[in-house]
């Protein structure tokens, strides 16, 4: 079952064409890893999926609804309804520094259009902190946490809104190497629960292990798509081989 269908996506920043006809499919309950050189448009693509960027052309269909169809967006209410189905985790965590860990988790659900009960929000936040191994940090401020702990809070926060799809933009790139493992472990557990995820990453061995589908992007285009076995084991395109150091 298709969760997201992207067709012919175009995005420019002024003169700079960053996405040049990107098409891809994200299936429900699958993990898609996006790899590619810096500047190839990976972040812009993720940000477009959750409407942090507005595209100039092409379509994004989420389930049965179009976020954007042939470059035309629906109403703000429609856009909100669709982006509410997704959560995003950023390279630099983006936690609210003035709120405790629990405050970070509970802010959005308390303010959501359909308000969740306070008791439910609290129970949910404590459960999710346990899930990411941070039960003891609920009342601590982000400045007191390591990078790995911050990122685990960011993942728990994204899960609070019960997203159908989680987007990760280089979730371990800002971390010291010894802290990446604890974040990858959480993502790996979500994959085992069949959470639908799109992960932009430079961690090739992790992508290979956890992803059902790998997308290689270069210069605003999808160059090659395949299973990890196909893409890492037998890349068809010269640019893919060069990126993987196989050329
Ligand atoms: P990646 O995530 O693959 O490194 P990005 O999507 O971040 O690539 O960026 C693709 C290109 O778009 C880069 O050349 C980058 O400098 C440019 N870019 C990204 N965001 C903006 C922006 N807000 N304004 C202008 N240029 C941008
Ligand atoms: Mg990026």
**90-129 confidence digits (pLDDT tens):** 999 999 999 999 999 999 988 875 666 888 899 999 999 9
Q: Is residue 137 part of a domain?
A: yes
pLDDT digits (tens, 9 = 90+) for 145-196: 999 999 999 999 999 999 999 999 999 999 999 999 999 999 999 999 999 9
Strand partners, 62: 4, 65
Distance of alpha carbon 161 from alpha carbon 158, whole angstroms: 6
Ligand 1 atom with least separation from CA of 40: 3
Ligand nearest to the CA of 35: 1
Domain count, the chain: 1
Q: Determine the average pLDDT of the residues in 222-232.
A: 98
Inter-residue contact 68 to 58 (CB < 8 Å): yes
Q: Is residue 125 part of a domain?
A: yes
Calculate how far, in angstroms, residue 38's C-alpha sits from the geometric centre of ligand 2: 7
For the Cβ of 44 lying below 6 angstroms from any atom of ligand 1, the answer is: yes
Calculate how far, in angstroms, residue 217's C-alpha sits from the geometric centre of ligand 1: 13
Q: Is the pLDDT of residue 19 over 70?
A: yes
CB neighbours of 29 closer than 8 A, spacing ≥ 6?
Answer: 1, 194, 195, 196
Please state the length of the chain: 247
Q: Is residue 236 part of a domain?
A: no
Q: Looking at ligand 1, which residue's alpha carbon is closest to its atom 27?
A: 13
Q: Is residue 73 part of a domain?
A: no
Q: Is residue 136 part of a domain?
A: yes
Q: Percent of the chain at pLDDT above 90? A: 94
For the Cβ of 150 lying below 6 angstroms from any atom of ligand 1, the answer is: no
Q: Is residue 86 part of a domain?
A: no
At 42 the pLDDT is 98
Which token pair is 76? 């703000």
From first CA to last CA, the distance across the chain in angstroms is 35
Q: Is residue 166 part of a domain?
A: no
Q: Is residue 131 part of a domain?
A: yes
**What pTM does this model have?**
0.96
Q: Which domain does 111 fall in, by range?
A: 98-161
Instruction: Tell me if residue 65 falls in helix, strand or coil.
Output: strand
């Amino acid at each position: 079952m298709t969760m997201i269908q992207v067709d012919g996506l175009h995005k420019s920043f002024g003169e700079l064409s960053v996405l040049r006809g990107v098409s891809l499919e994200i299936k429900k309950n699958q993990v898609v890893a996006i790899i590619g050189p810096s500047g190839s448009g990976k972040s812009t693509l993720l940000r477009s999926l959750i409407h942090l960027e507005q595209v100039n052309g092409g379509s994004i269909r989420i389930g049965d609804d179009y976020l954007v169809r042939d470059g035309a967006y629906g109403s703000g209410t429609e856009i909100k309804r669709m982006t509410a189905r997704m959560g995003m985790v950023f390279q630099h965590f983006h936690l609210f520094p003035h709120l405790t860990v629990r405050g970070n988790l509970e802010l959005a659900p308390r303010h959501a259009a359909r308000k969740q009960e306070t008791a439910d929000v609290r129970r949910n936040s404590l459960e999710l902190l346990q899930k990411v191994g941070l039960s003891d940090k609920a009342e601590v401020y982000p400045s007191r946490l390591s990078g790995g702990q911050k990122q685990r809070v960011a993942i728990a926060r994204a899960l609070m809104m019960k997203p159908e799809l989680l987007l990760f933009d280089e979730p371990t790139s800002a971390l010291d190497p010894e802290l990446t493992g604890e974040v990858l472990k959480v993502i790996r557990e979500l994959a085992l629960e069949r959470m639908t995820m799109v992960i932009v990453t430079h961690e090739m061995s992790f992508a290979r292990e956890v992803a059902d589908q790998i997308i290689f992007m270069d210069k605003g285009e999808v160059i090659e798509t395949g299973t990890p076995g196909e893409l890492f084991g037998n890349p068809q395109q010269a640019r893919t081989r060069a990126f993987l150091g196989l050329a």
